Amino acid sequence: MRGSWARYGVKPDLGAYSKAIANGWPLAAVAGSLTMIEGDSKVFVTGSFWLGSAAMAAGLKTLEILRTTDALAHIEAMGERFRKGLAAVA
Domain extent listing, the chain:
4-89
Check pLDDT > 90 for residue 42: no
Task: Tell me how crowded residue 64 is: count the other CB atoms within 10 A of its CB.
Answer: 10
**Per-residue pLDDT, 86:** 97
Average pLDDT (53-70) is 93
Tens digit of each residue's pLDDT (9 = 90 or more) over 10-20: 888 888 888 88
49 Cβ neighbours under 8 A, 6+ residues apart: 26, 27, 55
**Per-residue pLDDT, 60:** 94
CA distance 90 to 78: 18
Average pLDDT (35-60) is 80
Average pLDDT (21-49) is 80
- Against a cut of 0.75, is the pTM above it? no
Q: Are 1 and 31 in contact (CB under 8 A)?
A: no
CA distance 3 to 29: 13
**Per-residue pLDDT, 30:** 82
